[in-house]
Structure 1
Amino acid sequence: MANLNCLILSSPLFNDKNPNISLDLDQFISEYWYPSHESLVSEILFSNVSNFYPVEVDSYPIQFVHRYSYFNDYYNRIHITPSHIELGNIASEQTENVTVWNAYLVPKTLLSIDDIPDGINVAGQPNPPLNFTALQERAWDISILTDGPSSLDSALTWQFAEDAANLRITGTRIIAFAWLVDWSKPVKETLQWLTDILQSSTGHEQRRNLRLAPRISLEADLLLFDQERQFFDLAMLGWGAKTFAVPFWNQQQWLSTEHNAGALVVYCDTAHRNFRANRLAILRGESTLENETIEIESILNDRLILKRPLIQSWAKGTCLSPAATAQIESAPQLIKRSDRMMRTHVTLNITEAVDHAAALPELIYRDFPVLDQAPNESEDLTHSHERLLHLLDNSTGFALRTDTAKAAFQLYQYAWLLSGRQQQADLRALFYALRGSQKAIWLPTFSDDLTLKNIITANSQTIDVAWCGYTRFALNQLSRQDIQITLRNGTTLYRRITSATEVDTQIERLVVDSIFTDQINPSDVIRISFLSLCRLSNDAVEFEHINDSDGIAKCSVTWRGVREE
């Protein structure tokens, strides 16, 4: 057997011969453990190694594609954060923090900060020129003052030698219209929609609403004296064409607890008031000069969460009103009562959308809701009709008038007397659902239009009423086909008249579209009124607020009949 020279290494784990190696190694003769035995070959000669770099080679071009990474996205430029500040309504001094980062790998020098407009202060760092080390970030405080142009849209520039960072600031400066309202006369609130109405010669209409929200205007009388009169006169002179924060006077309330400066919460009743997130509210003290405009972050049932802390402390009993931005429609005319007191009337147009829940009556008759609430008849209400008359007149002969629609379109005046915020909110929801003149609704006349003469038997479809000329003049006429029967037990029935005959000179018999399930005696009926399918005759709705929303308000509209079948 041949003899083989070998070297068995020690195991790093067991510090001995590796047991995992095949047992065939044990068959070898003359084992040599570390250190190794003398090599059978000649020894390697070691010598010092010399450095011959760089090595000159023949260069040649290499085609390549440069791949970009996050380094190219962030470095070797100037960053500013944020780059756009949207302030919204500026009712008090605001301060924003802005950082500028030198993302170059070498130092850079800020040469100047350019285009700083009036009413904005930049502070927090030494004046330029200012050195930025490599990758250094610096912060500035941007203060936006209430003094300055009404509309703010400015671009500030941090100018470096070969680069620049731009900051855009937008917003609208406003001051509070905090003068006290003279409640001896009502505050008027007008909601104005815009409806495009295409009417055919037969009276059919296609109606399209052109506004997502109504335009709102407020009218009020002011009684001004002493310092408040002076302030009003000068404010109209310098700020009359600009934007004000106008309180909704009819929705004012008084704080039940004290609020300290720095608080971010105002405890109040928010139900059925125009408090909205990202909108304004006004706190007012005993005089016009004691006020603070606050911006709302969010709304809970019993509190407002503010975007910025209160600047002043406010005592219990402070007046709080939701507010909106507005502009004066025309320069107010001052009526001088004395050298210290003047009276004036102002009209302010709200410049932002004021949304509200929309709700139609739940009662539906023939696919349209029914307004079954009786109007306020403390004052006389008018009722008339109009026709679509085509006039042909050559000025020499007799004029020819043609009724193209062959129908009389009813005009009803309707009035509400509202008490409390719930009723006012419900009526406002109705108008928002109708969207001005766009949508139609059933409107009873709430008059005794037909008089029941005989008993209506159960399972019958006829009604005997006192003769009134219905068969001769009103059968199948617009706004005279449907009736509302109001019973003394609180039940209200709705029917459509399909035919009519004159029984004699005292009675007319009407046939309706469905049976009466129960017997009805003449004494059971309060009244039988005609139903008309109507829309608002115009897009303007006016509220007269006698006092705030916890009190009384009036509203009056005119309805116009429409043809939908």
Structure 2
Amino acid sequence: MANLNFWLTQSPKNATVLNPYVSSDLDGFSDEQWWPPHASIVSDTTVSTLTTHYPVEANVRVIQYIKTQSYFDDYYNRIHISPSTLELGNVASEQVSTVNLWNAYLVPKTLQSIDGLQEGLNVSSQPTPPFIFSALQERAWDVSILPDGPSAIDVDLTWNFGSDSAVLNITGTRIVAFGWLVDWTGSVKETYTWLTDILQSVTGYEQRRSLRLAPRINYEADLLLYDKERQFFDLAMIGWGAKTFAVPVWPQQQWLKTAHAIGALTIYCDTTYRNFRANRLAVLRGETAFQNETVEIESVLADRLILKRALQNNWPAGTCLSPAVTAQLNSYPQLTKRNDRMMRTTVSLDVTEPVDHDEYIPSITYRNYPVFAIAPNETNDLTHSHERLLQELDSSTGLKLRNDPAKAAFGLYQYAWLTYGRLEQYQLKGLFHALRGSQKAIWLPTFSDDLTLTAIITANSQYMDIAYCGFTRFALGQLGRQDIQITLKNSDVLYRRITAATEVSSTTERLAVDGSFTARINPADVIRISFMSLCRLSNDILSIEHINDSDGNAKASVTFRGVRES
């Protein structure tokens, strides 16, 4: 085992032998009992007076340097303004904003003037310039934007301090509520216009692209004006006819069930399937064109609107509330004079802002495209036709030479709707927003009895016998005649593609389809067998005629055109 060398120290107290490893200087502290007490072994140092050698000569060489920036340079010796921009959006009533200026100079500064003031723009809460800003002083102004003034607001409001200035940029649009009531003895027409660029080959294949993010919207309605409202309308058209109005979306109007007091920031209403949107407008209307208020929406809940600014008037139960859009007159309205107190007119207004809408796509799909399976409104006659991409050479001296490079007839199908209630109208608009006008394609049945089943279709069979109609001779493989919709009395709807056809006899044709039938089908079980065509809209325009508001009826009619994509 290893041996360890060590020593054991002794305590200086009660020790009989001086420990050489403990400094005896520790015993020099007064009033302490250290062992053994004695005087310091360090000699006293002679105290002497220090000599001053100022001034000290500095090095006279030039030192190169760069001054770096600091937070001091970021914040001081300038004029600060907060906020520096005001984006007002739509100004339908007086808006007041607080603007703060801070003199960040370490010396007083004189505000000489406030430049850029114009009609409908005021500043207050401070003395009229010139006056002195103390060093590091902050002052606040109330900037008021009134609804009276130029339609477009784009102003630089400048606080001029001579050698320095602070600029507040104000932008927005002044609007006036279109408060005249619609004459519902007629209808309100709502028109959506998309823009689709279509490149078509000689064989009928197409490349389509939508050129607008949102459709253009136009509202057209009849007005019956009399007495003071007629006078008000006439003068408003003279003074504001080329500017922007806040136009109620008349088909989506409703009547408030509760009263709302001045200063309220909430409007209780039904927002379901109505075009209320955050940062958009709504209009409250009374019994006359003079009783209205335009409000800006902060947020939308299922049963209420949260407003950005408080109500400026009291509104009783029964007040008419509508979502609103900014719009301008498409043309100056022509007044029809009934007598010296009453006139009738029709107004056409183009919406000046994009209006979004949820897309609605039918849930049924066939061969990777949705199927529009709702039968059209056939109260009025609907037309079906075809067009061909014919090329014609005519020398005028001989016979015409005509060629059909596509070798296909592209169907034209008129379709009409009669909707009832907000949900159906909402889905109708959503369908066309999904189709984006003429861009997207959808399967459209003819909803006609195109083929007649004559024999029972057995389970697991892929054949069906129909009454002779010339399908084998003329339609096999033709565009718009390959796919069928079979509607059964038990509400089942089947979709098949015809792959082959033969003439069994002078009265019967047999068709082969691409999928077997899972159950037995009797001819008596069939309501109708209709051809289906893959179609797009023939143009980019959808017009909805509102017979009454969105809780009532609306009509629409379009023409679909067959396309070749599969």
Q: Which amino acid aligns with 1:418?
A: T
Q: Which runs of 4+ in 1 moved over 6 A?
A: none
- The residue number in structure 1 matching 2:274 is 273
Superimposed CA distance per residue, residues 466-489 of structure 1 (whole angstroms, 9 cap, x where no aligned partner): 111111111111000111111111
- The residue number in structure 2 matching 1:480 is 481
- The alpha-carbon distance between structure 1 residues 9 and 93, as it changes in their structure 2 partners (threshold 3 A), is farther
Give the deviation of 1:278 after TM superposition: 0.2
- The alpha-carbon distance between structure 1 residues 494 and 128, as it changes in their structure 2 partners (threshold 3 A), is same
Give the deviation of 1:54 after TM superposition: 5.8
- The residue number in structure 2 matching 1:249 is 250
- The residue number in structure 2 matching 1:389 is 390
Q: Take 1:99 and 1:314, find their aligned partners in 2: how far apart are those partners? A: 35
- The alpha-carbon distance between structure 1 residues 58 and 489, as it changes in their structure 2 partners (threshold 3 A), is closer
For structure 1, which segment, 472-481 or 399-408, has the greater mean C-alpha deviation from structure 2 after superposition? 399-408
Q: Take 1:298 and 1:288, find their aligned partners in 2: how far apart are those partners? A: 27
Superimposed CA distance per residue, residues 338-371 of structure 1 (whole angstroms, 9 cap, x where no aligned partner): 1111000011000111101112111111111111
Q: Which amino acid aligns with 2:408?
A: A
- The residue number in structure 1 matching 2:163 is 162
Is residue 195–residue 209 contact of structure 1 (8 Å, CA) maintained in 2? yes
Q: Does 1:31 align with 2:31?
A: no
Give the deviation of 1:57 after TM superposition: 3.9
Q: SS at 1:26's partner residue? A: coil
- The residue number in structure 1 matching 2:4 is none
TM-score w.r.t. the length of structure 2 is 0.93
Give the deviation of 1:16 after TM superposition: 4.0
Is residue 360–residue 434 contact of structure 2 (8 Å, CA) maintained in 1? yes
Q: Does 1:469 align with 2:470?
A: yes
Q: SS at 2:453's partner residue? A: coil
Q: Take 1:164 and 1:241, find their aligned partners in 2: how far apart are those partners? A: 36
Q: Does 1:100 align with 2:101?
A: yes
**Equivalent residue runs for 1:282-431 within 5 Å:** 282-431=283-432
Give the deviation of 1:87 after TM superposition: 0.3
Q: Take 2:343 and 2:503, find their aligned partners in 1: how far apart are those partners? A: 68
Q: Take 1:40 and 1:453, find their aligned partners in 2: how far apart are those partners? A: 137
Is residue 421–residue 553 contact of structure 2 (8 Å, CA) maintained in 1? yes
Give the deviation of 1:321 after TM superposition: 0.2
- The residue number in structure 1 matching 2:68 is 67
Q: Which amino acid aligns with 2:295?
A: I
- The residue number in structure 2 matching 1:531 is 532
**Equivalent residue runs for 1:230-249 within 5 Å:** 230-249=231-250
Give the deviation of 1:63 after TM superposition: 2.3
- The residue number in structure 2 matching 1:21 is none
Q: Which amino acid aligns with 1:31?
A: H
Q: Take 1:426 and 1:96, find their aligned partners in 2: how far apart are those partners? A: 41
Q: Take 2:126 and 2:62, find their aligned partners in 1: how far apart are those partners? A: 50
Q: Which amino acid aligns with 1:259?
A: H
Is residue 191–residue 215 contact of structure 1 (8 Å, CA) maintained in 2? yes
Q: Take 1:260 and 1:227, find their aligned partners in 2: how far apart are those partners? A: 27
- The residue number in structure 2 matching 1:500 is 501
Q: Take 1:120 and 1:53, find their aligned partners in 2: how far apart are those partners? A: 67
**Equivalent residue runs for 1:96-175 within 5 Å:** 96-175=97-176
**Equivalent residue runs for 1:5-44 within 5 Å:** 6=25, 8=27, 10=29, 16=32, 26=35, 31-32=38-39, 40-41=43-44, 43-44=46-47
Segments of structure 1 that go 5 or more residues without pairing to the other structure are 18-24
- The alpha-carbon distance between structure 1 residues 451 and 128, as it changes in their structure 2 partners (threshold 3 A), is same
Superimposed CA distance per residue, residues 51-70 of structure 1 (whole angstroms, 9 cap, x where no aligned partner): x8665545332222322111
- The alpha-carbon distance between structure 1 residues 121 and 501, as it changes in their structure 2 partners (threshold 3 A), is same
Q: Take 2:192 and 2:55, find their aligned partners in 1: how far apart are those partners? A: 87
Q: Take 1:431 and 1:301, find their aligned partners in 2: how far apart are those partners? A: 25
Give the deviation of 1:282 after TM superposition: 0.1
Q: Which amino acid aligns with 1:451?
A: T
Is residue 260–residue 314 contact of structure 1 (8 Å, CA) maintained in 2? yes
Is residue 7–residue 31 contact of structure 1 (8 Å, CA) maintained in 2? no
**Equivalent residue runs for 1:441-460 within 5 Å:** 441-460=442-461
Q: Which amino acid aligns with 2:38?
A: E
Q: SS at 1:231's partner residue? A: helix
Q: Which amino acid aligns with 1:552?
A: N
Give the deviation of 1:161 after TM superposition: 2.2
Q: Take 2:220 and 2:207, find their aligned partners in 1: how far apart are those partners? A: 33
Q: Take 2:24 and 2:485, find their aligned partners in 1: how far apart are those partners? A: 123
Q: SS at 1:454's partner residue? A: coil
Give the deviation of 1:26 after TM superposition: 3.3
Q: Which amino acid aligns with 2:121?
A: I
- The alpha-carbon distance between structure 1 residues 254 and 54, as it changes in their structure 2 partners (threshold 3 A), is farther
Superimposed CA distance per residue, residues 117-136 of structure 1 (whole angstroms, 9 cap, x where no aligned partner): 22100111101111011100
- The alpha-carbon distance between structure 1 residues 53 and 329, as it changes in their structure 2 partners (threshold 3 A), is farther
- The alpha-carbon distance between structure 1 residues 26 and 424, as it changes in their structure 2 partners (threshold 3 A), is same
Is residue 27–residue 35 contact of structure 2 (8 Å, CA) maintained in 1? no
- The alpha-carbon distance between structure 1 residues 56 and 375, as it changes in their structure 2 partners (threshold 3 A), is same
- The alpha-carbon distance between structure 1 residues 517 and 62, as it changes in their structure 2 partners (threshold 3 A), is same
Q: Does 1:262 align with 2:263?
A: yes
Give the deviation of 1:535 after TM superposition: 0.5
Q: Take 1:532 and 1:305, find their aligned partners in 2: how far apart are those partners? A: 47
Is residue 82–residue 99 contact of structure 1 (8 Å, CA) maintained in 2? yes
Q: SS at 1:460's partner residue? A: coil
- The residue number in structure 1 matching 2:194 is 193
Q: SS at 1:174's partner residue? A: strand
- The alpha-carbon distance between structure 1 residues 441 and 31, as it changes in their structure 2 partners (threshold 3 A), is same
- The residue number in structure 1 matching 2:14 is none
TM-score w.r.t. the length of structure 1 is 0.93
Is residue 328–residue 346 contact of structure 1 (8 Å, CA) maintained in 2? yes
Q: Which amino acid aligns with 1:458?
A: A
Is residue 28–residue 38 contact of structure 2 (8 Å, CA) maintained in 1? no
Q: Which amino acid aligns with 2:163?
A: E
Superimposed CA distance per residue, residues 275-320 of structure 1 (whole angstroms, 9 cap, x where no aligned partner): 0000000000110000000000000000000000001110000000
Q: Which amino acid aligns with 1:165?
A: A
- The alpha-carbon distance between structure 1 residues 53 and 480, as it changes in their structure 2 partners (threshold 3 A), is same
Superimposed CA distance per residue, residues 19-54 of structure 1 (whole angstroms, 9 cap, x where no aligned partner): xxxxxx735xx524xxx89x854742569x88x866
Q: SS at 1:510's partner residue? A: strand
Q: Take 1:45 and 1:383, find their aligned partners in 2: how far apart are those partners? A: 124
